[in-house]
Structure 1
Amino acid sequence: MDGDQDEMAGPGVLAVPELEWEQARLRAGVIGRLAEHVPVGLAAVDEAAVELGISRRRVYVLLERYRQGSGLVTDLVPRRSDGGKGGGRLAEPVEQIIRELVRQRYLTRQKRSIASLHREITRACAVQGLPAPARNTVAARIARMNPVEVGRRREGAESVRPLQSAGDEVPVVESILDQVQIDHTVIDLIVVDDRDRQPIGRPYLTVAIDVCSRCLVGMVVTLEPPSAVSVGLCLAHAAGDKRPWLERLGIDAAWPMSGKPKALYVDNAREFKSEALTRGCDQHGISLDYRPLGRPHYGGTVERVIGTAMQQIHELPGTTFSNPVERGAYDAEKMAALTMAELERWLVLAVATYHGTVHSTLGQTPAGRWADGVAATGTPVLTANPTAFLVDFLPVFRRKLTRTGFVIDHVHYFANALKPWIARREALERFLIRRDPRDISRIWVLDPEGTVYIEVPYRTMSNPTVSVWEHRQALARLRERGATEVDEAGLFRMIEQMRTIAETAQKTTKRTRRERQRRAQAGTANTRPTPPVPELPVVPADSEAAGRSVARFGEIEQW
Structure 2
Amino acid sequence: MHNIEPPNILIFKEDGERKISKVNYYSLINDDTFEIISESHKKVEKNIAKIESNQRSLLDTLPEDRQKLATKKLNWIKPILTFESAKSGDMYAVIAFNEHYKKYLKEGETVQTLSKKELLKRISEDKDCGKSTRQLERYLAAYLESESQRDNHGVEGLVSKAHLNSHVRSDDLPLELCHPKKKELILDTIFVRLHKDYIPILKTAIEDYYLGKRRKNVSKLHTIIQLKCINEKIEPLEYDTVYKIVNRINPYVLEKLAYGDGGTDPKIMNTNANQSFAKVPLQVIEIDHVRLPITVIDENTGYSVGEPWLTLAIDVYTRKVWGMDLSLHDPSGFKVMNCIFNGICMKRTKEKYGTINDWDFHGIPTVFHMDNGSDFTSTYVKSMIEDVLHSEVRYRPIATPRYGGIIERYFRTINQEFLEDLLGFRYKTNPDKNDRKEAAKDAILTLNNLRELLVHYITDIYHHDVHKGLPLECNTPCARYYQAIEIMGNPPFIKEEDEPYYKIQLLPSDMKSYKNDGIREENVKYASPETTRFISNKRKKNCKIKFDIEDISRIYLLDPESKSYIEVPSIYPPADEIAGMSRKLYQIIRKLLIEKGEITKQQIPGSANIIKGKELLAVVVQSSNS
TM-score range, shorter chain: 0.5 to 0.7
CA 1:169 to 1:330, structure 2 compared with 1: closer, same or farther past 3 Å? same
Tell me the CA shift for residue 445 of structure 1.
Answer: 1.4
Instruction: Show CA shifts across 1:82-102 (max 9, x none).
Output: xxxxxxxxxxxxxxxxxxxxx
Q: Residue 228 of structure 1 contacts residue 394 of structure 1 at CA under 8 Å; is this kept in 2?
A: no
Work out whether 1:372 is the aligned partner of 2:483.
yes
How many residues align structurally?
346
Equivalent residue number for residue 359 of structure 1? 467
Equivalent residue number for residue 319 of structure 1? 425
Equivalent residue number for residue 498 of structure 1? 613
Instruction: Show CA shifts across 1:127-175 (max 9, x none).
Output: xxxxxxxxxxxxxxxxxxxxxxxxxxxxxxxxxxxx9999995241111
Equivalent residue number for residue 294 of structure 2? 189
CA 1:495 to 1:180, structure 2 compared with 1: closer, same or farther past 3 Å? same
CA 1:200 to 1:351, structure 2 compared with 1: closer, same or farther past 3 Å? same
Equivalent residue number for residue 129 of structure 1? none
Q: Residue 444 of structure 1 contacts residue 453 of structure 1 at CA under 8 Å; is this kept in 2?
A: yes
Q: Residue 552 of structure 2 contacts residue 578 of structure 2 at CA under 8 Å; is this kept in 1?
A: no
What letter is aligned with 2:450? L
Q: Residue 262 of structure 1 contacts residue 287 of structure 1 at CA under 8 Å; is this kept in 2?
A: yes
What letter is aligned with 2:393? L
Say which SS state the counterpart of residue 258 (structure 1) adopts. Answer: coil
1:65-80 maps to which residues of 2 (within 5 A)? Answer: none
Tell me the CA shift for residue 201 of structure 1.
Answer: 1.9
Find the partner of 2:280 among 172, 175, 179: 175
Tell me the CA shift for residue 351 of structure 1.
Answer: 1.2
Tell me the CA shift for residue 367 of structure 1.
Answer: 0.4
What letter is aligned with 1:359? H
Q: Residue 589 of structure 2 contacts residue 614 of structure 2 at CA under 8 Å; is this kept in 1?
A: no
**In the aligned structure 2, how far is the partner of 1:383 from the partner of 1:335?**
42
**In the aligned structure 2, how far is the partner of 1:426 from the partner of 1:329?**
53
Find the partner of 1:211 among 303, 316, 322: 316
Find the partner of 1:472 among 574, 587, 595: 587
**In the aligned structure 2, how far is the partner of 1:330 from the partner of 1:360?**
37
CA 1:190 to 1:169, structure 2 compared with 1: closer, same or farther past 3 Å? closer
1:437-516 maps to which residues of 2 (within 5 A)? Answer: 437-449=549-561, 451-459=563-571, 460-465=574-579, 466-480=581-595, 486-488=602-604, 490=605, 492-502=607-617, 508-510=622-624
CA 1:214 to 1:417, structure 2 compared with 1: closer, same or farther past 3 Å? same
Work out whether 1:335 is the aligned partner of 2:439.
no
Q: Residue 191 of structure 1 contacts residue 336 of structure 1 at CA under 8 Å; is this kept in 2?
A: yes
What letter is aligned with 1:317? L
Tell me the CA shift for residue 506 of structure 1.
Answer: 11
Q: Residue 201 of structure 1 contacts residue 510 of structure 1 at CA under 8 Å; is this kept in 2?
A: no
TM-score after normalising by structure 2: 0.50
CA 1:311 to 1:330, structure 2 compared with 1: closer, same or farther past 3 Å? farther
Tell me the CA shift for residue 485 of structure 1.
Answer: 5.2
Tell me the CA shift for residue 308 of structure 1.
Answer: 1.3
In structure 1, list runs of 5 or more residues that go unmatched: 1-162, 513-559
**In the aligned structure 2, how far is the partner of 1:341 from the partner of 1:477?**
26
Paired-residue identity, %: 27
Q: Residue 271 of structure 2 contacts residue 403 of structure 2 at CA under 8 Å; is this kept in 1?
A: no
**In the aligned structure 2, how far is the partner of 1:193 from the partner of 1:301?**
32
CA 1:464 to 1:429, structure 2 compared with 1: closer, same or farther past 3 Å? closer
Say which SS state the counterpart of residue 273 (structure 2) adopts. Answer: coil
Equivalent residue number for residue 258 of structure 1? 362
Instruction: Show CA shifts across 1:348-375 (max 9, x none).
Output: 2221211112222212211011112223
CA 1:450 to 1:429, structure 2 compared with 1: closer, same or farther past 3 Å? farther
**In the aligned structure 2, how far is the partner of 1:371 from the partner of 1:254?**
13
Equivalent residue number for residue 414 of structure 1? 527
What letter is aligned with 2:578? P
Equivalent residue number for residue 79 of structure 1? none
Work out whether 1:277 is the aligned partner of 2:384.
no
Equivalent residue number for residue 347 of structure 2? 242
CA 1:233 to 1:444, structure 2 compared with 1: closer, same or farther past 3 Å? same
Cα RMSD over matched residues? Answer: 3.3
Tell me the CA shift for residue 471 of structure 1.
Answer: 2.2
Q: Residue 271 of structure 2 contacts residue 406 of structure 2 at CA under 8 Å; is this kept in 1?
A: no
Say which SS state the counterpart of residue 415 (structure 2) adopts. Answer: helix
CA 1:297 to 1:494, structure 2 compared with 1: closer, same or farther past 3 Å? same
CA 1:271 to 1:390, structure 2 compared with 1: closer, same or farther past 3 Å? farther
Q: Residue 470 of structure 1 contacts residue 495 of structure 1 at CA under 8 Å; is this kept in 2?
A: no
Tell me the CA shift for residue 298 of structure 1.
Answer: 4.4
**In the aligned structure 2, how far is the partner of 1:506 from the partner of 1:305?**
36
Q: Residue 192 of structure 1 contacts residue 339 of structure 1 at CA under 8 Å; is this kept in 2?
A: yes
What letter is aligned with 1:343? L
Equivalent residue number for residue 518 of structure 2? 405
Tell me the CA shift for residue 425 of structure 1.
Answer: 6.7
Instruction: Show CA shifts across 1:454-483 (max 9, x none).
Output: 211113445432321222123323543566
CA 1:318 to 1:479, structure 2 compared with 1: closer, same or farther past 3 Å? closer
CA 1:188 to 1:461, structure 2 compared with 1: closer, same or farther past 3 Å? closer
1:9-28 maps to which residues of 2 (within 5 A)? Answer: none
Q: Residue 284 of structure 2 contacts residue 369 of structure 2 at CA under 8 Å; is this kept in 1?
A: yes
Equivalent residue number for residue 348 of structure 1? 455
What letter is aligned with 1:372? Q
Find the partner of 2:492 among 348, 359, 381: 381
**In the aligned structure 2, how far is the partner of 1:330 from the partner of 1:511?**
8
Tell me the CA shift for residue 499 of structure 1.
Answer: 1.4
Q: Residue 464 of structure 2 contacts residue 478 of structure 2 at CA under 8 Å; is this kept in 1?
A: yes
**In the aligned structure 1, how far is the partner of 2:430 from the partner of 2:584?**
30
Equivalent residue number for residue 109 of structure 2? none
In structure 2, list runs of 5 or more residues that go unmatched: 1-265
**In the aligned structure 1, how far is the partner of 2:358 from the partner of 2:529?**
42
